[in-house]
Structure 1
Amino acid sequence: MGQSSAVRRLPAVDRGTGEIVQLELLDRESFQQGEVRERPVLPGVRYDWQPYAGRHVNVAKSLMRKVWHKDSGYRQNDRDIFGFYVAHSPERAEPLRMTFKEIAQTLGIRPDTVARSVGRLHAGGLLLEAEKVGRMKFYRINPRAAFDGSASDQTRAVRDARYPVVPAPKAPPGPRKKEAV
């Protein structure tokens, strides 16, 4: 029978420092000599390149190309709002807990513009309603469009996520204003 060898498993990513651990399967000396010996662990390499350190998001490029196309049905404000959600959402499938007013102040636009864009993005499945507190709704990014987390977390997150659509569907009509008598 074959020889059994003890395999020492090391984490591939140091989540505390944001470093990827370099793995060396066969170094030249042990390959040439035909022996296996204890190898030192190489220093980690940062995956959050400077000067913009931080987490990175997995984005569906083919979907984003469709959304950013001039014939997508999504407007520039919609794309800005979606980009805001991608950049500001917490990890995994957590909702962005910011009001439309807070988002509007950050982007320098009106809260009703944010509300209309979120409505179109929700109708198209790019944003999903995640929770409701009173009358306030909080949305999360559809994990089929973009995800901040591990591949296994994303696999679990997409189980209940619908497929985003392009071109943008029409947002449901809002409440009608009362006519003056």
Structure 2
Amino acid sequence: MTQRSVARRMPAVDRGTGEMVQLELLGTDSFQQEGAQDRPVLPVARYDWQPHPGRHVNVAKTLMRKVWHKDSGYRQNDRDIFGFYVAHSPERAEPLRMTFKEIAQTLGIRPDTVARSVGRLHAGGLLLEAEKVGRMKFYRINPRAAFDGSASEQARAVQDARYPVVPAPKAVPGSRKKEVS
């Protein structure tokens, strides 16, 4: 008769904090839950990878592959601006409160280039308008494309978010200013 090992299913992620649980494959007696000697408690490991610790973002890989494809309709500047939003946006569904001028200075490009790219990303649903202060609009990342927060927060955030579009929508006729000759 063969001996079967009994494996206990333990959660790999603490759903409350989003922290990964360190999995112990060989078993150990050093981590025990109070009052239950047969159920080990494993230490929580943060997403603090060295040398660049910090928060991590869930990104829709299939969508991103489409956006980064040469036939996506999105330009290199659009992809750079979207990457900037992913890297600099606050947690959850908060907007990035930076002006196009500030973004342009950080990236070393012109503010009107940022404005055009944000317009394309917004038309395609990758960026959503989050708030307006006077004439200034602030955008947030569509949580269907990328999200910085727990899975349950993301599930709530996508309820009112539209689906991003690839290829990028064409410019509306007549939206560009005519050049003076």
What range is the shorter-chain TM-score in? Answer: 0.7 to 0.9
Q: TM-score, normalised on structure 1?
A: 0.78
Matched residue type, 1:12? D
Deviation of 1:47 (Å): 1.8
- Aligned partners of 1:12 and 1:22 also within 8 Å: no
Q: Whole-Å Cα distance in 1 between the matches of residues 167 and 116 of structure 2?
A: 16
2:48 is matched with which residue? 48
Deviation of 1:97 (Å): 0.2
Matched residue type, 1:164? P
Deviation of 1:19 (Å): 5.6
Deviation of 1:73 (Å): 0.4
Query: Does 1:117 pair with 2:108?
Result: no
SS in 2 for 1:90: coil
- The root-mean-square deviation of aligned C-alpha atoms, in Å, is 2.9
Deviation of 1:40 (Å): 6.5
1:127 is matched with which residue? 127
List runs of 5+ in structure 2 lacking aligned partners.
1-12, 30-35
Deviation of 1:179 (Å): 5.4
Structure number with higher strand proportion: 2
- Aligned partners of 1:14 and 1:21 also within 8 Å: no
Deviation of 1:39 (Å): 6.0
Query: Does 1:12 pair with 2:14?
Result: yes
SS in 2 for 1:139: strand
List runs of 5+ in structure 1 lacking aligned partners.
1-10, 30-35
Deviations 1:73-105 (A, max 9, x none): 000000000000000000000000000000000
Q: Whole-Å Cα distance in 2 between the matches of residues 56 and 80 of structure 1?
A: 18
Q: Whole-Å Cα distance in 1 between the matches of residues 134 and 179 of structure 2?
A: 24
- Aligned partners of 1:81 and 1:118 also within 8 Å: yes
- Aligned partners of 2:15 and 2:150 also within 8 Å: no
Identity of aligned residues (%): 83
Q: 1:39 to 1:58 in 2, by over 3 A?
A: same
Deviation of 1:22 (Å): 3.5
Deviation of 1:43 (Å): 3.5
Matched residue type, 1:57? V
SS in 2 for 1:131: strand
Matched residue type, 1:153? E
Deviations 1:89-134 (A, max 9, x none): 0000000000000000000000000000000000000000000000
Q: Whole-Å Cα distance in 2 between the matches of residues 14 and 168 of structure 1?
A: 36
Q: Which moved more, 1:127-136 or 1:42-51?
A: 42-51
Deviation of 1:176 (Å): 3.1
Corresponding residue pairs, total: 162
| Counterpart mapping for 1:159-170 below 5 A | 159-170=159-170
1:87 is matched with which residue? 87
